[in-house]
Amino acid sequence: MLMIGADLMPPLAGLFVLDFSTLLPGPMTSMMLAEAGAEVLKIEPPQGDDMRRFPPVVDGESAAFAALNHGKSILSLDLKSAGAVAALRSHLERADILIEQFRPGVMARLGLGYEAVRAINPGIIYCSITGYGQTGPRAMEAGHDLNYIARTGMLGLSSGGATHPVMPPLLAADIAGGTFPAVINILLALRQRDRTGEGSHLDIAMADTPATFLWHAAATRAATGAVPRDGAELFTGGSPRYRTYAAADGRLIAVGALEEKFWQAFCTAIALPEAFRGADATPREAIAAVAERLVARPSDHWRTVFEPLDCCVCVVATLDEAMAEPQFIQRGLFQAGAGKDGSVSRAFVPVVPQFRR
């Protein structure tokens, strides 16, 4: 949510965005630009964005589509039709930003590639979001988030192994590798255009950015020569100080007590024997000892123990609990809205920097 002073104009007010993208990365990019004040025109094929058919559907509309595309104008157009480029010309002439998410070469074949659009509008910021980028041997290969984090090695750091494979709960490549780099680079390109008057073509590859999440594994590999082990490193479950543990009621406790002061406060709170607190105990022994202490009591007990300690330990929240969390409500992370049946639900609101005097 964009929160600004009453006398401040939204930072992207006056900018016009043409969005040719579908599904998640591109539409979330244009949504965040719209939240910052930009005008967005979404170009959809006659059959509509595939996201319109994603469940759950409420009152005939996909909740996922509604969350990503509220506040945008929509133009239905067959880009393969003979008059498509002509129909779009007035929009192309005044656009500041164009977002597309086709495989490399598709927009060019439609007469809407970067060079063609640049000839109409030299100042255009043209943002292409693809799986593997505009170049490279995999540039034309199909993929989704799971494929991108699998190829970069990120999934292999905490996959659960062959006997208990785990699906990651977040679309890291789509959002952190697609949307966020797109928004950041669009803003950088606008700044550059302010100085030079020139537009640019941004090549955003969803498989590129997840590699930055491997910073610790890569540093460990470079320093020791050892290949990081699946689920056994500092941030993937190999340390007793940074992992999840089960409570007696089956809820999970998230322990992030990396620093010594937090670790010692945590150990004291659960009455962990001294033998398992220091370097004399192996990580496996310490993990087992901590697990034995935490599973003896239900999560509500541990919640009351850890809340006042401020030692980087908390109960893993359900989505409903997160939506009711006063911290997130106060900061506007989830926005209440009434459905047609009168029920109240909360929807995601993108976090855009807050502008204050």
Residue 357 has pLDDT above 50, yes or no: no
Give, for 65, the enclosing helix (H) or strand (E): helix 63-69
pLDDT of residue 335: 66
The lowest-confidence range among 108-117, 158-167, 244-253 is: 158-167
Active site residues: 144, 174
For residue 169, the model assigns a pLDDT of 85
The answer on pLDDT for 346 being more than 80 is: no
pLDDT at 137 over 70: yes
Mean pLDDT, range 59-75, rounded to an integer? 89
Q: Is it the case that residue 336 has pLDDT exceeding 90?
A: no
Per-residue pLDDT tens for 191-227?
A: 999 999 999 999 999 999 888 888 888 888 889 998 8
- What pLDDT does residue 2 have? 46
Segment holding 344, helix H or strand E: strand 344-348
What are the DSSP calls for 32-53, one per residue? HHHHTT-EEEEEE-TT--GGGG
The span from the CA of 239 to the CA of 258, in Å, is 9
How sure is the predictor about 347, in pLDDT bands with cuts at 50, 70 and 90? low
The better pLDDT of the pair 344, 99 is held by 99
What pLDDT, on a 0 to 100 scale, did the predictor assign at position 350? 54
CB environment 152-165: b (16+ within 10 A), e (fewer): bebbbbbbeeeeee
If one compares 355 and 187, the residue with the highest pLDDT of the two is: 187
Domains of the chain: 16-212 (3.40.50.10540), 242-316 (3.30.1540.10)
- For residue range 16-58, what is the model confidence (pLDDT) as tens digits? 999 999 999 999 999 999 989 999 999 999 999 998 998 888 8
Give, rounded to a whole angstrom, the gap between the first and last alpha carbons of the chain: 17
Contact 207, 173 (CB under 8 A): yes
Query: Radius of gyration over alpha carbons of the chain, in Å?
Result: 24
Residue-wise pLDDT for 219-266, tens only, equals 888 899 988 888 888 888 999 999 999 999 999 999 999 999 999 999
Q: Please, what is the average pLDDT of the chain?
A: 89
Tell me, what's the pLDDT at 67? 85
Mean pLDDT of 161-168: 84
Helix (H, G, I), strand (E, B) or coil at 311: coil
Is the pLDDT confidence value at 144 over 70? yes
* Whether the Cβ atoms of residue 125 and residue 97 lie closer than 8 Å to each other: yes
Please indicate whether residue 353 or residue 314 has the higher confidence score (pLDDT).
314
| pLDDT per position as a tens digit, 70-100 | 889 999 999 999 999 999 999 999 999 999 9
What number is the average pLDDT over the span 109-122?
Answer: 97
Mention every residue, 6+ apart, whose C-beta is less than 8 A from residue 163.
none
Gap between the Cα atoms of 99 and 80, Å rounded: 18
The structure tokens 């599973």 sit at 295
User: Side chain identity at 312, as an amino acid letter?
Assistant: C
> pLDDT tens, 270-323?
999 999 999 889 999 999 999 999 999 999 999 999 999 999 999 999 988 988
pLDDT value at position 332? 76
3-state secondary structure 122-133: CCCEEEEEECCC
